[in-house]
Amino acid sequence: MEHFKVITFYQFINLKGLEKLSKKIEEFCRSNKIRGSVIIASEGLNGTLAGLTNNITEFEKFVVELGFSDLNVKYSKTREMPFYRLKIKIKNEIVTMLNESIDAQKERAVSVNSYDWNHLINQPDVIVVDVRNQYETDIGRFDKAVVPNTDSFTEMKKYIDKNLKKYKDKKIAMYCTGGIRCEKASYYMKEQGFDEVFQLDGGILKYLEDTELNETKWIGECFVFDNRVALRHDLSKGSYDLCRGCNHPISEKDRDSSKYEKDVSCPKCYDISSDLKKNGSRERSKQISLAVEKNLSSTFLPKTPENY
């Protein structure tokens, strides 16, 4: 059975000519029916894309030829296309934290591969920090990790200044979904004088790919920023859905709530969502249902490799 190939990648590298680079990547993706999102900034490249296996393989070769020879890459697969469209954006940062690009040549954390990660975080003098958002850590995390309970990665700078600076002389091991957020945080931390900072190379996704279930220190599922919502340890689609009202993951318990309405609201957003927004979501859901009934093509309908 054929699957879509999903590639998640990033590289911190000082860049120029962002508009030209953006157009080249967009043209390649559109001509090869690749969907997803790519962010470009003067500090580097970040993206998650999905397409037919051969096309994703060619995309990786293409970006290497563009000069990204040290990409941090993770792969997974899915039967249904996990993206509705292609989005290429130029921003100040490839992952927003400082409101400006960093110098990619400066010092950053020491990368620790998946096979050495368990040994590192088992050491009693190591502080393990999850730099993801609270809605991500709620559904999965490493055992005994410190959770900042932030709503956005933009809050991480404040958290470091307020909560972590007292541990400058300690060993700090950070992780995130694919590695990019903890690497960005590490640039800032090294500037602030933190001594021993480590990051999980390739993030949770690479760890799950490399680590046997009987050896794992991971608990729960891993949130991902596409229509799969969350992944199990074997990188298959997890048990969570996404509330289209607030874009937060929702569990089976949430779906049993009287405040849950498919594609409209969940217990987290029902009381704060306006009737106007709820009605707009209902209309969108209705149009998708009509397209299904009439067998019409729709951007929002699931697509398998056979009908893509």
Q: Where are the domains of the chain?
A: 4-90, 110-220, 240-297
Mean pLDDT of all residues in the chain?
A: 94
Instruction: Determine the average pLDDT of the residues in 52-80.
Output: 95
Please give the residue that has the higher pLDDT: either 92 or 308. 92
Which candidate in 29, 176, 182, 266 is catalytic? Answer: 176
Work out the pLDDT band at 205, boundaries 50, 70, 90: very high
Query: What's residue 299's pLDDT?
Result: 62
The C-alpha angle 121, 126, 131, rounded to 5 degrees, equals 75
Q: How far is CA 191 from CA 25, 171, 186, 230, in A?
A: 32, 16, 8, 34
Instruction: Determine the average pLDDT of the residues in 94-107.
Output: 94
Query: What's residue 306's pLDDT?
Result: 79
Percent of the chain with pLDDT over 70: 96
The string of pLDDT tens digits covering residues 111-124 is: 999 999 999 999 99
176 is catalytic: yes
pLDDT greater than 80 at residue 289? no
Find the helix packing angle between 18-31 and 53-65, rounded to 10°: 160
Percent of the chain with pLDDT over 90: 87
Query: What's residue 281's pLDDT?
Result: 87
Whether the CA torsion 262, 238, 186, 172 is positive or negative: it is positive
The string of pLDDT tens digits covering residues 25-50 is: 999 999 999 999 999 999 999 999 99
Instruction: Determine the average pLDDT of the residues in 233-257.
Output: 94
Work out the pLDDT band at 295, boundaries 50, 70, 90: low
pLDDT greater than 70 at residue 302? no
Helix residue ranges, H only, the chain: 18-31, 53-65, 114-121, 134-137, 156-159, 180-191, 203-210, 252-255, 275-293
131: region left, alpha or beta (phi > 0 left; psi from -120 to 50 alpha): alpha
Work out the pLDDT band at 300, boundaries 50, 70, 90: low
Q: Considering the domain 110-220 in this protein, what is its CATH number? A: 3.40.250.10
Work out the pLDDT band at 297, boundaries 50, 70, 90: low
Work out the pLDDT band at 296, boundaries 50, 70, 90: low
pLDDT greater than 70 at residue 301? no
The string of pLDDT tens digits covering residues 142-188 is: 999 999 999 999 999 999 999 999 999 999 999 999 999 999 999 99
Token pair belonging to 268:
């987290």
Please give the residue that has the higher pLDDT: either 22 or 296. 22
* Fold type of domain 4-90: Alpha-Beta Plaits (3.30.70)
CB atoms within 10 A of CB 70: 9
Q: How far is CA 283 from CA 106, 243, 254, 289, 290, in A?
A: 50, 16, 22, 10, 11
The string of pLDDT tens digits covering residues 11-20 is: 999 999 999 9
Say how far apart CA 159 and CA 177 lie, in whole Å: 19
The string of pLDDT tens digits covering residues 127-144 is: 999 999 999 999 999 999
